[in-house]
Amino acid sequence: MATKTTDWNSSVQGYKDYLVLERGLSKNSVLAYMRDIHQFRDFATNEENVKRPTDIELPHVERFLGHLYDKGLARNSQARMLSGVRSFCKYLRIEGVMDSDPIQLIQAPKPERKLPDVLSVEEIESIIGAVNMSRREGVRNKAMLEVLYSCGLRVSELIELKMSRVDLIDGVVKVVGKGNKERVIPIGQQACDAIDDYLSHYRADVIPLKGHEDTLFLGRQGRGMTRQMAFTMLKRSVIAAGIRKNVSPHTFRHSFATHLIESGADLRAVQEMLGHAQISTTEIYTHLDSRFLKDQVTKFHPRSDKAEDNMAESTAVNQEVS
């Protein structure tokens, strides 16, 4: 029997502390969990008259999922929010506030496995080459994009990268990712050269504000870059390059992984570099690789219509030459 009773505010605050202190989640992950729990709390209190978390029952959660479905929320988002509610209930059981799991019998909506957008190597080079180097911050922006693609970082990892964790001699960077887990990632020579140029021609002239002394990428005022600044910088280069795809920093991460898999990299190695906890998360890139292989077969196999067109075109060109 649960002996504790608690109100929504103290339970939600306690859950936040649990995510930060016990589970060690990143700031962005905590914000995402809290956003979902606030939505559930608002629905439970306003629509279901659930006065305390201890009163949560299976029908409340079922109707909450129905509410999300009626709002047109994607299945992936529904599954994520259910996962958040499940985690919240687990915390309440740990604290002795709740006896049993009220949503144990609920099956999460089957997630849609969407293949992420990917850029070609030529498109990546075009975007990096479109950085406006006539502006003072151009050397910084180029270095950021080179590192983003060379290491497959999340945007939060890029802007929080520390100078003390970048080894240009051995060509590795140490990154603290989700769950405060550290990983070591090789960094290519082009990215190393771009960082070296940035340190010499931009970073050396910026006086870091207190708390930003070890931050690698700084703005003009000496503060670390924000996620929005990174998005805006990339968007400008994408437009300048004439790329019409919807490109974000995460697109560079997807492209990094896809290009490695296409070139024959070991899946476990790619998992390690991306910082994926589960190999199943990394396996989505094998689907992308399959799509690439299918395109190659369609284009070049003798029994393919496209291949026949290519052969006919090649024959015509050879006849013209001869």
- Residue by residue, pLDDT tens for the chain (322 residues) are 444 557 899 999 999 999 999 888 888 889 999 999 999 999 999 999 999 998 899 899 989 988 988 888 888 888 889 999 999 999 999 988 888 888 887 877 776 666 667 899 999 999 999 999 999 999 999 999 999 999 999 899 999 999 999 999 999 999 887 777 888 899 999 999 999 999 999 999 999 999 999 999 999 899 999 999 999 999 999 999 999 998 999 999 889 988 988 888 888 888 888 888 777 777 766 665 555 555 655 666 565 565 445 444 444 434 443 4
Q: What is the pTM of this model?
A: 0.62
Fold of 121-282: hpI Integrase; Chain A (1.10.443)
Catalytic residue among 23, 212, 236, 250: 250
Catalytic residue among 154, 203, 254, 259: 154
Q: What is the C-alpha separation between 177 and 28, in angstroms, rounded? A: 11
**pLDDT number for residue 303:** 57
Whether 250 is catalytic is yes
Catalytic residue among 67, 162, 276, 287: 276
Residues 6+ apart with CB under 8 A from 66: none
- Rg (alpha carbons) of the chain, rounded to whole number: 25
**pLDDT number for residue 197:** 96
Q: What is the C-alpha separation between 291 and 185, in angstroms, rounded? A: 27
Report the CATH superfamily, name and number, of domain 8-94: Tyrosine recombinase, N-terminal domain (1.10.150.130)
Q: Does this chain's domain 8-94 share its CATH topology with 121-282? A: no
Q: What is the C-alpha separation between 322 and 316, in angstroms, rounded? A: 10
Strand 172-176 relative to strand 166-167: parallel, antiparallel, unpaired?
antiparallel
**pLDDT number for residue 300:** 61
Q: What is the C-alpha separation between 1 and 19, in angstroms, rounded? A: 25
Whether 287 is catalytic is no
Catalytic residue among 41, 253, 254, 259: 253
> Where are the domains positioned within the chain?
8-94, 121-282, 285-315
Whether 285 is catalytic is yes
**pLDDT number for residue 34:** 95
Whether 67 is catalytic is no
**pLDDT number for residue 26:** 83
Catalytic residue among 178, 212, 227, 287: 178
Q: Which of 139, 265, 248, 151 is nearest to 203 (CA)?
A: 139
- Please state, as a whole number, how many other Cβ atoms lie within 10 Å of the Cβ of residue 289: 19
Whether 201 is catalytic is no
